[in-house]
Structure 1
Amino acid sequence: MATTAQRIEDLTLFHLPVETAAFAEAPDPWLAKAREQHPWLATSTIGPVLTSYRAIDEIMRMDDALAMPGAEIAEIMGAKGTGWGDFAEEMLLVRHGADHQRLRSSVSGAFGPNNVKRMRPVMRETIAALLDEWAPRGTFDFTKFAANFPVRIMFALIGGDIAKLPAIISSLEVQGTSFNMVVEDTPRIEAAYQVLWRFVDDLIAERGPEGGHGDLLDDLIAANTGGNITDKELRQMLVFLFGAGYDTSKNLLTLLMDSMIAHPAIWKRCGQDFDYCRKVVREQLRLTSPSNTYRVTTRDVTWQDVTIPAGTMLLFPLGISGRDPELFARPLEFDPDRTDRTAPLAFGRGMHICLGQFLAQANVEEATHLIAQRITNPRHAGPPSWRSFCGVWGIKSLPIAFDPAPARAHQPA
């Protein structure tokens, strides 16, 4: 006889204080209590939170039942009718079906594995140049160092003038907090969005309709002139790509450095063995990654005898999904050689899986290998501070001290 599913509103669930600084810094004690009360669900001020790897993995694949809550977030933030509010409601992540495929196809080739492989020499040259500038200092805030790397790669991918980089980094930083749903931040988010809009508008004007560089910007302009994307979508797509390319890699690299301070032997090996770096990055993606995301159910969803009604805002904590003790032995231990090799959920699932996942992983793999050669014996020079857990999570400030080392004569190809 079939079991009747329970409605989620009839369950007694543990409340996770996801909006607090204490939760952002150390979520595990609360998660353990939540799992004692229910194996895969908890509550929060935002809505139900999925605390199980399997629940996140399987429910996120239900593309017909989920939507990115762009309009809902714009409403909560009081941003309706603003530039950023339009962006929240219209960007790639909130599109569906043929409309989503139309936009995604305009940029997907540039972020595929083959093109990312061709970008690896640029990544190595970029991080080596940054290390020549920063490594002799012996101490700095690692987040500020890391902020310079991935956005330079995006400039190379799009063909932007690197001289304009300093003017947009601060705006990209603000933009990265835009989906953390801190209402008081709305004015500064809108101001940052306008800076980025003007930047990409100038970029398009300077390039002109003829292109000629053979890069991603040329592809997007061609899609625009060919009628595949509108003028507004072209600019929104560039803002989206700069923001996504900046945040994911920068925060992942900073999280990895924080992990490595506690594992000096692993860090030393990263400087010696590039293939080992790949395993280290994968393990970081499992343990702690930058992105937590939302979805709204567009119909009733039933999973493991619990029904979630249509119109429910769900929080998918991708950044800690790999800490599920049901799937991973010793889930809080950093072990690049672990045998339980279940794929991390850091980049999501379903049709909205992160477009730049291959670029982000390659960025951090190449950076880790070279940074470990030049920044040796890293240690905390002050306590790290954390960003809000909801939305783009990560470390806001990571002061480190280290022993500088000179560049090696022959960098690996």
Structure 2
Amino acid sequence: MRTDIPTVDFALDGRAFRANPYPRYRALQEEHRIFWHDGYAAYVVPRYADVMDVLKGTRWKVRPGSRFLERQLAANETVNQLMQGFYYFLDEPEHRRLRSIVSTTFTPRVVLNFRGRIQQILDELLDETLARNGTVEFMWEISYPLTMRVITEILGVSEEKDHRFFADIGHALAGLLEWDAPVERVLAGGESMMQISNRFVDVLEERQQQPRDDLISALTKARAEGRASDSFEIIFMCVLLLTVGYETTMNHLGNGVHALLSHPEQFERLRAEPDIVPQAVDELLRFEAPVQVTSRVAVEDIDVAGTTVREGEQVVVLLGGANRDPRVFDDPDRLDLTRSNAAKHMTFVHGPHYCLGAALAKTEGEITFATLARRFPHLRQAAPHEWRDTAILRSLDRLPLALDG
């Protein structure tokens, strides 16, 4: 425990906090630039400028500190090894080398060429819903299958058997992204990771014999050229891309639709002014970030918000708080789809670990929100929504919609 700065404890797992964390973020911002949290054994920075300062720095590693890994690594030895391997590839120099291999797949130009396919998948899902009764549980009948199908097609595992396989077990992976997940959820995530890894082993063997125009084939080629050292690296990269490729984007779509329906004047504006869609997506990402919190561990002594963070100590950054910081965003709790500086949000973090799939996530948001506004001008919630029991990820578990209004 540090005695030279304030100690503040707040729980990320309270029901009220998870329903609306923003008043607490604001109070923390007003009172502190940095404070110590005993539960996390870490510093916490809530303000935009300090969050930016940490994220853009290069003297950090992404691997969480020991307190955050206790639940995951205590689950069992298999999960221990999986998690250690998972985080190994997020730090330098492995991160830079592997990121360079896949970065060309997620450029705005490449994603632009995929727009038509995203639109086709979304329309198919919506048409299937309309053919039934016009009501839909958006999170699990639209958002999840859309984002999962998109990322699996990019990876190259898009056969019908893969759709069924990933649909059945893919969501369990999210348990490995939650710092406060119960042990049983971590175990389910570890089991899911093993099954998915085994599937990628089979696909790698197939691509060695018959390359295709997909990301796994590109990774296989990189290994042959010596840019990836072994199949283990490729498999973990595939698991990572799969997980972040659907989970955070799925949450972004749900959060965005909920925000629009909670502000009907903004939804109407989106319908009337389709040209504002790209700007609106940035504002929705700012307003309800699908990832609320992340962390860094110092690799040497670093000054953060006037405090010396020593080598090996951890800093937690409140992304959701930074996105609502009134020092940067005027009237930050107001949803404004034409906000001039919405693109300054921290939802995709910043610096060397800026989200590789940002262009893809924004494109899926643009297509989804524009399509709903165009096809269903009277879209409404058909029943109360429910937030998932998560804190690091901000996500709805249920969002029932009436498409025909």
Q: TM-score normalized by structure 2? A: 0.89
Specify which of 135, 139, 144 is matched with residue 139 of structure 1: 135
Q: Report deviation, 1:389.
A: 4.8
Q: For residues 394-413 of structure 1, what are the structure 2 equivalents within 5 Å?
A: 394-403=395-404
Q: Is the alpha carbon distance of 1:217 and 1:22 closer, same or farther for their aligned partners in structure 2, counting shifts above 3 Å? A: same
Contact 1:289 1:346 in 2 (8 A): yes
Gaps of 5+ in 1: 1-6, 405-413
Aligned residue runs from structure 1 range 32-71, under 5 A: 32-41=26-35, 43=37, 45-46=39-40, 47-69=42-64
Q: Find the residue that maps to 1:351 and give its secondary structure.
A: helix
Provide Cα deviations, 1:365-412, integer angstroms capped at 9, x if missing partner: 1121112223332333333222345433221222223426xxxxxxxx
Secondary structure class of the residue paired with 1:307: strand
Q: Distance in 2 between matches of 1:94 and 1:49?
A: 25
Higher mean C-alpha displacement, 330-339 vs 26-35 = 26-35
Q: Displacement, 1:72?
A: 6.2
Cα distance in 2 between the residues matched to 1:89 and 1:101? 18
Task: Output the CA distance in 2 between the equivalents of 1:297 and 1:120.
Answer: 39
Paired residue total: 397
Structure 1 distance, partners of 2:74, 2:357, is 27
**Number of the residue aligned with 2:320:** 319
3-state SS, counterpart of residue 177 of structure 1: helix
Structure 1 match to 2:335: 334
Question: Is the Cα–Cα contact under 8 Å of residues 65 and 297 in structure 1 kept in the other structure?
Answer: yes
List aligned pairs for 1:261-300, cutoff 5 A: 261-271=261-271, 273-291=273-291, 292-300=293-301
Matches within 5 A, 1:12-411: 12-41=6-35, 43=37, 45-46=39-40, 47-69=42-64, 73-78=68-73, 82-91=77-86, 94-136=89-131, 137-144=133-140, 145-163=142-160, 164-181=162-179, 182-184=181-183, 185-211=185-211, 213-229=212-228, 230-271=230-271, 273-291=273-291, 292-341=293-342, 343-403=344-404
Q: Give the share of equivalent positions with the same residue, in percent.
A: 24
The structural deviation recorded for 1:51 is: 0.8
Q: What is the SS of the residue equivalent to 2:303? A: strand
CA distance in 1, matches of 2:78, 2:61: 25
- C-alpha distance in structure 2 between counterparts of 1:11 and 1:396, whole Å: 38
CA separation of 1:318/1:270 partners in 2, compared to 1, >3 Å: closer, same or farther?
same
Kindly state the Cα deviation for residue 196 of structure 1 after the two structures are TM-superposed.
1.3
Q: Relative to structure 1, is the Cα distance of residues 43 and 400 closer, same or farther in structure 2, using a 3 angstrom cutoff?
A: farther
CA distance in 2, matches of 1:102, 1:72: 28
Which residue does 1:410 correspond to in 2?
Answer: none
Aligned-partner Cα distance in 2 for 1:85–1:375: 47
Is residue 252–residue 289 contact of structure 2 (8 Å, CA) maintained in 1? yes
Q: What's the CA shift for 1:314? A: 2.3
The Cα RMSD (Å) is 2.5
Deviation, structure 1 residue 341:
4.3
Task: Give the aligned partner of residue 4 of structure 1.
Answer: none
TM superposition shift of 1:202? 2.6
> Could you list the runs of 5+ residues in structure 2 that have no partner in the other structure?
none
